[in-house]
Amino acid sequence: KTTNMEAADEFMKYRSPLVSRYASKEMAYNFSDSKKFTTWRKLWIYLAKAEKSLGLPITEAQIQEMESHQRDIDFAMAAEEERKLRHDVMAHVHTFAHCCPAAAPIIHLGATSCYVGDNTDLIVLRDGFDILLPKLARVIDRLANFAEMYADLPTLGFTHYQPAQLTTVGKRACLWLQDLTMDIRNLQRARDDLRFRGVKGTTGTQASFLQLFQGDHDKVEELDRLVTEMASFKKSYLVTGQTYSRKVDIDCLSSLASLGASVHKICTDIRLLANLKEIEEPFEKEQIGSSAMPYKRNPMRAERCCSLARHLVALMADPLQTASVQWLERTLDDSANRRISLAESFLTADIILSTLQNISEGLVVYPKVIERHIRQELPFMATENIIMAMVKAGGNRQDCHEKIRVLSQEAAAVVKQEGGDNDLLARVQRDPYFAPILGQLDAILDPRTFIGRAPQQVSRFLSEEVRPLLEPFRAKMDVKIELEL
């Protein structure tokens, strides 16, 4: 009965859909309290080990005691301590000290709250990128396979969403890939540019640590280096205020917002093509597209991506404004905002990549529909080729142009005013003026002659720019996505 009441209570308060409905377990854990506070304890252990190695009176028994209690966090006690102290870090210092009485005097020695707060954030950001990068690589891989498969399948190109010159299905996919390859480089650079805050003290001057080591600057620098190395960072920021510069958050979240823009564009294209019935996202055997219209096959995966991508792009305003108002060495008006914006950016990017991988693994192409659309538009696009063929056969360009203009207007009226099919080709075939080239019309109207170098561009782009980017992720490339809808 108690269990049922507790379960019901969960539905009496707001739960973030990003966690309860969408994001992967690994990304949800990355921003969990468990990850956060066990990392705080790791950082206190790193600090104690480094301080001990540099001569401070810390014993191995104290460190072992801390290590043995790293994961057994009494969250209820921590919550009660925070209620009393109104300070989350000190609440957890007291909670850790309660189960580590021998180590209690040296936990958090010389440090400020941002030692655990900011350094943990940097670890979480780095680990978040490490979750996202293989997912983005898999999306790129699936779309590259798709582009390769349809590299030479002609399709109508669109500018202004009006029919334009032909391209190929694979070439269009390469436009998507071009954006995503920029994104994977941006994410990798943002990840690799991250540094550790290290041990810098309350205003970033390391004054408390200089006092601990009795004015020995070399030991203070070595302490910073040792802790940075234990946390698996290659470098720490040489200068900080109380916090690391909040422009670091801008750098990280801008790469994610840019990814969001790319995904929104890709999934909008898929939605437009689904309306044309040329390409569809995967559709489950028993999936219902509409409660009222049984025939519908809504592109709900692509719509989900667009919906969440808008949120990801919108989150970019938070770190920009936060960084701009960090007075002097820091203010605390960053804290509440960052608890939301950092986590939500990574959680949102996580689910749109999982969803896009699912879409890209099951895209369905309908060549016959694509061919029909080409037939409806190609005669208009081929008029210049018909004129050139007539000139080669001895005709006058201006006379031929006028003939084609009149016939094109008549055919366009049939399409637009009568709702009929484009009959320009039939009109050309019936007009004795075009008798010299009738035998060439099939070749002139072959869609493959209108796609230019699209297949060659696909091949070169995939081999020179896309495949090499995926090499570092080969070991994680075979992961499939089971998408909860």
All residues at 6 or more sequence positions from 226 whose CB lies less than 8 Å from its CB, including other chains: 46, 49, 50, 53, 54
Nearest residue to 459 via CA among 173, 263, 133: 173
Report the candidate in 167, 244, 253 with the shortest Cα–Cα distance to residue 451.
Answer: 167
Helix (H) or strand (E) holding 280: strand 279-280
- DSSP of 172-226: HHHHHHHHHHHHHHHHHHHHHH--B--S--SSSS-HHHHHHTTT-HHHHHHHHHH
SS3 call for 426: helix
Amino acid at 462: L
How many CB atoms are closer than 10 A to CB 7?
9
Instruction: Give yes or no for a contact between 257 and 315, defined as CB atoms under 8 angstroms apart.
Output: yes
Active site residue 160: yes
**Residue 149 CB neighbours (<10 A):** 14
3-state class (DSSP) for residue 279: strand
Residue of 20, 290, 307, 463 marked catalytic: 290
State the virtual CA torsion across 72, 77, 78, 79 in degrees, nearest 10.
Answer: 130
Q: Sort strands 162-168 and 279-280 into parallel, antiparallel or unpaired.
A: unpaired
Phi and psi at residue 168, in whole multiples of 5°? Answer: -125, 160
* Per-residue burial over 231-260, b = 16 or more CB atoms within 10 Å of its CB, e = otherwise: bebeebbeebbbbbbbebbbbbbbbbbbbb
Say how many C-beta atoms besides its own lie within 10 A of residue 481's C-beta.
18
Instruction: Just list the catalytic residues.
Output: 160, 290
